[in-house]
Structure 1
Amino acid sequence: MKIQGKMFLWLAVFILLVAIVYGVWSHEPAGTTALFLAFGLSVMIGYYLAFTARRADTGAQDRPDADVADDAGELGFFSPHSWQPLALAFGGALAFMGIVFGWWLMYFSAPFILVGIFGWVFEYYRGPDQRY
């Protein structure tokens, strides 16, 4: 993660230079503000990755002699058969259609969104006294 942190910090330096040049030459406030905000986001991500790299083990991407297979392994647990993303997608689509056609559609999208979020969060919850 060290290399990613450095990449984002160098990107932040580049965006800062571009923002200054763009602001001086164009005198356009919206684009200049957007570039300065992109600079801030790059600094935040780069600092986070650099800060986390000090606490994490050295990954294969930080070693110049590493192969692609050195970083293989388990990435985490992913639910193999969850229907909750479908409910969230349907509720989100209705919500965005509510922005276009009328805010009254939000009343129909809210139950789908709430059921999808609740179901996704508690999908594997078995209770405090039960074992798997």
Structure 2
Amino acid sequence: MAKDVIGIEELEKALLELEVEAGWKTLRTAINEGAKLIQNDMAANANFNESNVTEPHMADQISRAVRKPGSRSRRDTAAVAIIGPRKGHKQKAIAQEYGQKRGQIAIPFILPALERNAEQVVKNIDSSLKKALF
């Protein structure tokens, strides 16, 4: 039976009632599900160089990961989601996002993906956590 959670304190209490590892797995799964929207949006809007068929398309190289916060994270950070092109495509992604002095115009695909999907990602994470907790 689903239980309504009102406020962050009740959510925190519900998470603390779970075992630590089970709570982490639940949180990681929920955030990963939400992050898929952003990953798919980035992939749909990544440039494709039709003249270079030997390299994999940047859209196929966009990854996502959910990690525990590092030492530089804020104290109230429960998890960190990382979504973006893999190492081999980072320079291309930067050039597409911001443009270049040599004439390449900016065609942003990272920040717009975050902005377009932020509200739905939060709803998906909320829904996923509620299903797991209650």
Q: TM-score range by the shorter chain?
A: under 0.3
Relative contact order (C-alpha < 8 Å, sep 6+): which is higher? 2
TM-score, structure 1 normalization? 0.25
**Bigger share in strand:** 2
